[in-house]
């Protein structure tokens, strides 16, 4: 069993920055890819960013590329999402997810553990 706990969400004005963190426990964190997904009000959950098991590869959704940065610290069992130049359309509940394997995937089915999520609200 894996436990994922997100933190760092909140209310921010457009153009501002937030840093989300996800603390993992329960299995060897460094062996698996990690991802961030988000669910906006009334919409389906969508992929945001992912990072491979050793941090050597990252991948972003087109609408966050250049603004968001995913990183991980395997010594601390944490994965972070630095979000800059926030826009109102970034408003969503952000979920951390632990992958089934080492490589990056944008598909929800590629992740078998999920955090409860943290709310990010961006005002215009």
SS3 107: coil
Rounded CA-CA distance 91/77 in Å is 26
Give residue 107's pLDDT. 96
In this predicted model, what pLDDT tens digit does every residue of 82-121 receive, in sequence order? Answer: 999 999 999 999 999 999 999 899 999 999 999 999 999 9
In this predicted model, what pLDDT tens digit does every residue of 12-55 receive, in sequence order? Answer: 999 999 999 999 998 788 899 999 999 999 999 999 999 999 99
Separation of CA 71 from chain center: 9
Q: What is the dihedral of CA 24, 25, 29, 35, to 10 degrees?
A: -30
**In this structure, are residues 51 and 64 in contact, taking their beta carbons and an 8 Å threshold?**
no
For residue 10, list its beta bridge partners: 120
């Amino acid at each position: 069993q894996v436990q994922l706990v997100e933190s760092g969400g909140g209310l921010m004005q457009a153009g501002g920055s937030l840093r989300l963190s996800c603390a993992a426990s329960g299995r060897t964190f460094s062996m698996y890819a990690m991802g961030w997904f988000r669910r906006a009000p009334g919409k389906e959950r969508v992929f945001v960013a992912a990072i491979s098991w050793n941090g050597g590869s990252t991948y972003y959704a087109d609408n966050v590329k250049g603004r968001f940065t995913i990183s991980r610290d395997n010594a601390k069992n944490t994965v972070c999402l630095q979000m800059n130049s926030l826009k109102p359309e970034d408003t969503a509940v952000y979920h951390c997810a632990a992958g089934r394997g080492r490589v990056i995937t944008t598909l929800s089915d590629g992740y078998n553990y999920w955090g409860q999520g943290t709310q990010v609200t961006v005002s215009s």
